[in-house]
Structure 1
Amino acid sequence: MNRSAGSGRYLINGYPVGVERVKAEIKKLGCQLDNLCQFLPQDRVVAFAQLKATELLLETEKAIGDGRLFEEHEWLINEKKAIANLEREVAAKEARIEKLNKEVENMERDVARFNERNELLEKVEEYKLKRLWIDFEDKRKVWKGAQAELLKINEQIKQLHADASEHKVPMDKASAAKEEAKKVHMVASRALVAALKEKKKRLQGVYNSETEHSMLNDKINSKEKEEREKGKRIRDRERAIADIEDQLAGLVEPPDISAERTKALREKKAHNDVVVSLETKHDILKDKSHRHGFQLKDLEAKLAGFQSERQQRLVALQRAGHNQIIEADRALQNMQNQFHKPVIGPILTLIKCDNINHRKYLEAQIGKRFLAAYITQDDRDRSKLQEWTKRWQTTAVNMPSAKYEEPIIDQRLKSLGITHRLDQCFEADAVVKAALCDMNQLNITFVIDPKASQDVVDRAVTEVQDGKIFYTPSTRYTKIQSRYGRRETTTSSSPTRDSTLFSSGSSKEDEQNLKRDIQIVQEQKAACDQELKQLKAELADGRKTLEAFTSRINNMGSEMARYLAEKNRFNTQLKAQQNALERLRQQDVGKEIESLKRDMAKILEKRSKETCAYADVVTACCEARASETTALLHAKQCDALYKYLKELYDSETRQAQDLMDAQNAQKEKTLTLKRVCAMAKREAEEKAPLDEERKKRFFEMPQEIDPYPNPEPRPEEGQEGHDDYQEILPGIDECVRAFEEAADEIMCPNDMVLQDFRDKQEERNRLRGDLTEKGGDLNERLEVIETKKQAWLAALRPLVDKINDNFKTNFASIGCAGEVKLHDAGDKFEEWELQIWVKFRAVTDMHILDAHRQSGGERSVSTMLYLISLQELTSAPFRVVDEINQGMDPINERKIFKRMTKAASSSEATQTFLLTPKLLNNLQYTEDCTVLCIFNGPWIAEMAKRWKEMQRALQPGGPVTP
């Protein structure tokens, strides 16, 4: 087979052939590559032990002889399955015929009962037809009774209408009297309301006149008091005027200082120009100092960034190949306000891990690419982040709904030397751990105790089923599933390298340069601040001098201003006092008092009139209240009489209306009964017309039936109430009852019993014909199967006995016990089994080989001894066993190797190839054993010599491989 560029082709004797041709050639040679009894890889030893006993029998049949046993066994299984449906069909037909025989036998009695029952039912139907005419007579009587009831209701309605007419005239008179009394009461009520309004109005007039009298009296008292105090008030005003004139005379006018003030203003202006120049210079120095401060803060921030762990890790990622990571991170931080949720990262900066070994494991497991990735926490941010990832060539992971639960290291894992799962070896937010578990499977990666021995490490890697990767300080172990089965795994190992990203720092040279720049800027700022301090002192002195000039100029103008302000204030006060004194002298309070007393007399007169008017209104109000009460009582009496008469009238009217409703209902009932009676007559005439023959037999009764089972006194013929139809009605009912009871006593399944009887007879005859045909076919095929079975067993049992003898001998040679048994399952050929029984310890019983019960070494020993037992029986040209000795202890390995070489060295035995990476020292080899080492051995030199000769022949004069 040649294979290159992902494809391959098969060659036989140098000619290309197809896969089917290759398979055919292999089959001719007796090679069975899929048979574990001929080709057993190391990772399929467990699969061999897990073979079902039925599968082991099939594989053994394939491996021994020429494969005819397997073909015969397979034919028996398929043939038995093929006739299974035929057997079930024949059995079903036989059961069905037996059931039909019983059903037909039972139905013969049912048919006889059915005919007898039909005769009785015909008699029942005849008497029921007579009952139709009797029912018609009953309905006609009911209809006549309804007509009589309707006439009675009509008479009652007429009487009620006459009674209602007698009560209507006095009711109308009472209604007119009630309306008249209401009108009289309404007039009296209006008069009472008007009187009450007038009463309220007059009362308000009394209150108003009393208020005017009180107010005027207060004014008179006030004026009399003012008249008594007028002289004192005039003297007080005159003294106040004299005091103000004395103060005006005592004011002294200040001298003129305008020339001195002008000179002071010129000096102030000159000094102000000096202060302005100092302020300008101060602002320039202050701005320069601020610039130095901003520059210093920027440099210190950069230094802090160099010294921070996050910045160090960004620099480490940059040196690891992510050249734009720092610029990309700065751009992302500026975009944070555009996202719905913060975008975090890189992942390397989000992990806090202090353990050196754990750092190595994390860097090896996660990888540099994902350590530089960022994490989004909202699906809506993905589109915005795509442009950023393309621009800076970085990676982003979306985790919109991250859920993470801290794992637990149980006691079983601790006993195997496991200290952590890898997601427990660092601190980070839940979203970061969820992302790393999702991408890098940290939750199924385990950390083994650094102090654990190699045996403990191997045991942990083998027995922790859910683990894929395991770390120790020096080695990483990876479990790989075999392609032959999920339960078979192999383990690879690789060295664990030191972490370069978690421990990397910034450049020392860059940090020293940055510190030197900071020192230069600090010195420049200190010099600037010192000069600024001196300038501030000069500026403070200048401003103090300028304030002194300002205060002096202000004081020069304030003396004149105070003089003028005092003079104006005194003049204003003097004028106000003089005007008040003039008004006080011109007042005549005596005349005002006389005028107020005259007004008082008028108010007293008005108050007396208002009081008398109020008394008259109160009297009129009482009279109106009495009239209104009398009218109300009369109206109530008229209303009570009207209600009494109206209740009588309404009661009679309602009774009449109720009877009219009953009259309508009775009319409807009468019409309905008439229609029912007509329908009953029509039905009787259609189903049982009274011809002459039927009239003669209408009153006839069977002699065996009593027509009057419950005799009661009945009117004789010619007496009132006598009815011929009613006379025979009990007899008809008794006939119907008697014949129906007799028919019901005859048990009959259903009305289709005759048709069902005929159908079952036809089905039974048809099934008998089919059973005769298919039963013969079944018997013939069963005879063939039995013949084949005996031939198969005659060949199989001796071979199994031979295998059992070999297996017992091989097991006894290693000090253990073993047997091979053939389990007979009768005609269930797919359930025949070949069972391997083993016993490795004296204290245990013989039991079937089980992959869950035996250890790996015991499974390997049992498997190899069974294969050796097949050695002399197989027809294959060679057999291959791969690394079967890897799970054995040295003692068993030597015993097994000895049995294998002995079995394979016999002249009739098939060749056996044992592939293994190592063997024990000092093993015994027979002369028929050959040891082949890949790319080594005495034939290598010969092959190299022939290769050089071929090169010289194909390329004369060309270079020769050294």
Structure 2
Amino acid sequence: MPSLSTGNRRRRVPDPESSDEGDDSPAPTNSRVSGASKRARTGQDSSQLSDDGLDQSAMKGIALRRNGNGHSQDGFQPGAITRVKVNNFVTYEDAVFNPGPNLNMVIGPNGTGKSSLVCAICIGLGYGAANLGRAAKFSEFVKHGKDQATIEIELQRKPEDRSNYIIKVRITREGDKRKWWINGSEAPLKNVQQLVRGLGIQVDNLCQFLPQDRVSEFSGLSPVALLHETQRAAAPPEMLTWHDELKDLRKNQKGIQLNLETDEETLRTQEERQEGLRGDVERLQERAQIQEKIALLESSVPFVDYNVKRRHYIECRERAREAKNQLVALEAEFAPTVQAVNNKEEYHRRIDVAVKERKKDLQNSERAADNFFAQVEEANESIKELEQKAKSERDGEQKRKQQYAAIKEKIAALEAQLKNEPPAFDGPEWNAKIRAEEHKCREIEAEQRQVTEKREDLDRQGLDVRARVAEKERELATLNSQQGKNISLLRSISRDAATAWEWIQANRSKFEKDVFGPPLIECRVKDPRYANAIESLFQKNDFMVITAQTSADFKILDEQLLGASNLRLADINLRTVSRSLGQVRSSPMPTHELEKFGLDGWALDYVDGPEPVLSMLCGAVRLDRIAVGLKDLNESQYNALTSSAVSTFVTGRSHYSVQRRREYGPGATSTTTKSIQNARYWTGQPIDTNDKHELEETLKGLRENFDVMKVESGGLKEKLRVLGEQRSTILETIKILKAKKNEAQLIAGRFQALPGKIEREKENFQAVKLVSDNYRARMREIEAQSDELVLKKNALSIDYKALVQGIRTAHLSLQEAKFRLIEAASDVESLKEHSSNITRRVQEERQNYERANEEYKNVKAQAIAVHNQCISILAEGNNKEYFETIDKDLTIEQLEQDIDAEKSKLDYIHDGNPGALREFETRQATIDRLTATITSARAELTSVDASIASLRSRWEPELDKLIASISAAFAHNFEQIGCAGEVGVHKDEDFDLWAIEIRVKFRENETLQQLDQHRQSGGERSVSTIFYLMALQSLARSPFRVVDEINQGMDPRNERMEDEGVVYCEWGAYAEGS
């Protein structure tokens, strides 16, 4: 990003008190050490910075350097940032930044707001927080304790514009809202984004905008992705479009080629198979011709059949006409006799109708008589009901006379009670007595609640004390055990390591395989005599390493112990071991050969522990390659060792390290010797008595406190019992008082109700007397109704008698008609018997006619059906001329003989492969289709090849020119720090595999090597990344570039190289421009 202050180029002197780096030595590839993986944050809270602006404590310790012509607008590209103003944003309350047109470098300790400025640029230009890799919500960037934050960014105008662009955004914490302005006018976010894109600003491109938390992401970009991002940053927009089009065209080309090869191979196979079927096909064609002729003959059957049935139809028609004529003549001859029989049958029919009508009249008369009889019965029932009603009235009068006496006695008794008035009822007095007792009860209940709460609180305290006693007892038991001793020792050395080990033991279910604790706990020295020698090989961090066996387990440990979890431990190391001890161990010689050098064995042979931990120690401490011995060496043994494959050994109280320079000959060796200290950890010494004494004293105090609480709880329990008894007594007293009150109230209420009861009884007496007075009137009414019903019954009886006489008359008439019907039937039967011969002859002739006519109709229907079948066959349009020439006299038998002859021919031609013809035709259609497809595919492939060649001829030269420019700038940057580098393009047949190839050399005796995570250290990769970004700067279409924490992951040497290179390159560019 552009710089903020002037000053001579100088090296930054590392400060051992406030260095941003931890351990200068590079960490192992598969391990993460919290002290070296990321610079430690200062303990200062950003929210506690002074609110007096950038030039006071908020910027204390930040050196702002600007390279160029100060604040002059000269040299600014359109879209470059000329001013950034923030208010209540993250750590800043009010701050204004005025970057220059060239290099701007922001330097300062951790927590002083460098990354906050980067966040302000990203958010202020309309991009999301996801590009920062930090907070997910915009409201989280508002300064702690404030409701709103404001960012204002001024961008250099284009030559045709009058003034610079000023973009302003206000972030509201509540609701996570943003509001935008452009040059003082409110505008939607899409207008801001459109303006930013129009100026060539790509905050979402890591080649242009690289926040601190995404540096590792950029470093991890694949070469293919790096080419894509490079084109976005430095190439014209159409180049990226051309590249995408080439990818699509190549993908389409591969698909067409693959399909074309498949189709051509399929076509060759199909043509070869087609030739093998020709013989079978010719035989099948001859057989098909015969089958076609048989089918034609068989289809001729309906036409021959029609001719036969037509001749039969004409014959039947003539016979039916002749039979009809004979029937008509016979019927005319016997017409008079038949007429007499018909007349008698008509008379019989009319008599039968009369019988039915008279039978119906008889039924109507019977129904009318039944109706009158039902009315007579209904009158009888009504008379009985009135008699029962009269009886009920008499019985009721008798009961009312008895009620008179009862009511009079009750009235007399109530009036006697009214003369004896009970004592007056005083309700308030009774209520006062009850409330007094209830008040006493509430006071006792309140006291009970207080005592209960106090006892429950005491019980809770007791449970807490008991839990603490159990915890301290476990700690004491653990301290007394060997494992406890080790954990106590681990905690005294590193509380972070002890906390991590406790977390692992509590969460073992989360891991795929076993995770092993620090070697201090997991391992021991088999022979205490070798403890001094073994411990001299270990650094302090080596004792604290936690070992995982899978990458997934390592990731869990990294996130939970070192990452953004609640623990965030620092003083621990994590390593991954995936190979067995047998695969890792690489001792220079067998153990027994060491005896001739005066050594006892390899250090690994004297350490006992889990195999994965020992494998880790072989890689970290090289226990398998360091020899140990208890005795000092003589001169001959020492000389022999320095010439052997053993480079490190410990004997007696000395540690030897031999360095050999083979380029100067076998005698070019140097030996470093240092004394070893006494073992501190694997000594088997007793536990710390102070810790044990403190635990025992704490345990004693807790137990005494628990006993006191127990006694106090017992006293509270007894007090609750006494209060409960008192409350029960008061509640019983309240119950008795309420019962007495209710009884007195009931007596008083009953006395007050006596006048009303007397009045109601008197009213009841008058009501009974009134009903009794109306008794005679009701009886006279009942007698009158009864007389009326008797008269009605007599009248109905007379009418019923007349109806019965009518039924008798109708019955006689019906019998007369039945007699006449019998007589008419006899006459008809006699006439029919007399003319039976005539009738039989007519009937036989009629049946003869009907049979002839039925046969005529059937034959006609059959002929019509066959005729329709022939019409359907002719309508199909096949062989019409053949059917029209069929001989009219041909019979079915002759046609069947012709069909049998053709079938005999068919039997001599066998169908060896019945499906050959169908297979031949299907395959021929497939061959035709494949031929057309191949022709089309070849034409399409030719078109695609031409498109690729045309597009590549435009894109590839431009890309080569761009990469050549980047490589020249990249190599020049490396030359300034005494190293070498170049950038090239890996070209592949597939355009989606084209990639950036970066080759670097950091040492004189090296050649240019591919830049990757295996060949270069993290610092060297960071330097290469920065120089690549600088090489892009002169070519980039972007008006500015931002890199946060440019020295992330560098050791002091690489940091100085990068700092000198960046400043030199920028000053050189400025000098050339001046």
Q: TM-score, normalised by structure 2?
A: 0.29
Say which structure is richer in helix: 1
Higher Cα Rg: structure 1 or 2? 1
